Amino acid sequence: MSIKFTKDLKESSFLDPMNNFEPKTVVSEIRHDPLTGQISRIFPFRKFNIHNHDWTPFVEESRQKFCPFCPDVLEKVTPMFSADIAPEGRIKLGDATVIPNLNPYEKYASLVVMSCRHYIAMEEIETELIINSFRAGLDYLQRVTALDPDEARYVSINWNYMPYAGGSLIHPHLQILAGKEPCTFDKQLINASEKYLSDYKSNYWTDLINSELKAKERYVGQTGKVHWLSAFAPRHVGDIMGILPGKKTIHDISDDDLYDLAVGLCRVIKFYKQSNITSFNAALYFARSEHAGFSIHARIVGRFTIFPLVGSDITHMQILHDDPWTVILPEAIAQELKTYF
Ligand SMILES: [Zn+2]
C-alpha cells in the first residue's frame, strides 16, 4: 500500500524592506509525519548557510581537564556493574567499555565508552567503532532484559556526538537505556505501527520504503538490508532514517545488520561533515516481539551552531510546542546525500 505524504503550503505576505517595501509573498510548509501525524515545519530559507565549527580549541581545553573515560583513569573512577549484570565489572568488547551511568535517568541506564581515544573527529568515525560499541550496548541490553524482564522492557541505543548535541563529555560515548515504559516518541512509533498494520493489513515500514523508492524524492540508498531515506517530516536538520525491514527486537539484530547500519551511518556522518553539520544525535529504535508492524530503524539528525557556538538550534518550537523544524528541504538533503551511497 502506498504512503500518503501530506503537506500544507502556507503563504505569508509582507512589505519587503529589501525591495522598496513592495508586497512580497513567502511560502513555508507544514508537513505531517505519515506514521504519527506529528507536525514538522519547513522554514522558507532556501540558501541557509550553516557555518563550519572548529572544535579544536574545545578539544584541546578538554585534554587539559580531567576525563573519566580516558584509559589511564577509567578503571579507577567509573562505576562497575553488580555481579548479576556483569561479573567482570565492566563489559568490554574490542575498544568499547560499557559502564553504569552515574546519573541514571531510567531504571537501566549505561554508557558505552566507544574508544580509548579521547576525541574522534567526524571524518575519523569508522564502521568498526560503531559496530563494536553498538554490539557492546546490545550485550548490556540482552543481559538486563534477561535479568529483569519486568523492568527492562523497552530499550534504545543513543549517541550524542559532541557537547553541542548534548554530550556532556567530548570523549565519544553512547547512552543505553532499558525501562518499563517506552520513551514518549518510541511509544508513538510502536502504537502507530501496530495501528497501521491493523487498519491496512500492511507493514508501515515496508510500505514507506516502497513508496519512497517509487517517489525517488527522498530515497537515498541501500547498505545491505538497510534502506536509507531522508525523513519526509524531519525531526531536525538532515533527519535520515535507516530502516531494517523484518527485524523488531534486540535479539533479531545480527552482526551483518550492525555492519549494514554502521556503513550507512558513516556515509551520513561524512555528508554532515562536508555540509558543516558538526554535531549530531542518533538513536536505534527497537520494539518488543509482541508489537506487530514495527521495524528496527536508526535515525540520525544533524545539529548545527548558529553564529559559531553562541546560538542554539533548539528553540521554543521544539521545547514549548513540540513542533520540530528544519531549514533545509528533505528532498535537497536526499539529492546530495545520494552521492555518498
Ligand atoms: Zn577522555
pLDDT higher than 70, residue 46: no
Contacts of 38 by beta carbon, 8 Å cutoff, 6+ apart: 32, 188, 233, 322, 324
Predicted pLDDT at 114: 98
Predicted pLDDT at 310: 66
Predicted pLDDT at 309: 62
Residue 6 CA, ligand 1 centroid: distance in Å: 45
Domains with residue ranges and CATH for the chain = 6-42 (no CATH), 56-340 (3.30.428.10)
What does pLDDT average to over the chain?
A: 95
Residue 118 CA, ligand 1 centroid: distance in Å: 4
Q: Which residue has the higher pLDDT, 204 or 327?
A: 204
CA dihedral 175→178→184→189, nearest 10 degrees, is 100
Report phi then psi at 174, rounded to 5: -105, 155
Contacts of 155 by beta carbon, 8 Å cutoff, 6+ apart: 141, 145, 176, 177, 178, 250, 286
- Residue 144 in grid coordinates: 538486563
pLDDT higher than 90, residue 50: no
C-alpha to C-alpha distance for 177 and 145, rounded to whole angstroms: 11
pLDDT higher than 80, residue 9: yes
C-alpha to C-alpha distance for 338 and 47, rounded to whole angstroms: 19
C-alpha to C-alpha distance for 23 and 147, rounded to whole angstroms: 66
Residue 70 CA, ligand 1 centroid: distance in Å: 4
pLDDT higher than 90, residue 295: yes
Segment 295-313 mean pLDDT: 85
Residue 75 CA, ligand 1 centroid: distance in Å: 13
Going from the C-alpha of 272 to that of each of 60, 209, 218, the distances in angstroms are 23, 23, 16
Confidence band, pLDDT 50/70/90 cuts, at residue 45 = confident
Confidence band, pLDDT 50/70/90 cuts, at residue 49 = confident
Residues present in the chain in total: 341
Segment 99-108 mean pLDDT: 96
Residue 169 CA, ligand 1 centroid: distance in Å: 8
DSSP string over 117-155: -S---GGG--HHHHHHHHHHHHHHHHHHHHH-TTT--EE
DSSP string over 193-251: HHHHHHHHSS-HHHHHHHHHHHH-SSEEEEETTEEEEE-SS-SSTT-EEEEETT--STT
pLDDT higher than 90, residue 333: yes
Confidence band, pLDDT 50/70/90 cuts, at residue 308 = low
pLDDT higher than 90, residue 43: no
Q: In the chain, pLDDT over 70 holds for what percent of residues? A: 98
SS3 label, residue 190: helix
Ligand 1 ion: Cβ-proximal residues, 5 Å cutoff: 67, 69-70, 118, 171
Residue 78 CA, ligand 1 centroid: distance in Å: 12
Predicted pLDDT at 306: 76
C-alpha to C-alpha distance for 323 and 146, rounded to whole angstroms: 37
Residue 173 CA, ligand 1 centroid: distance in Å: 10
Segment 24-50 mean pLDDT: 89
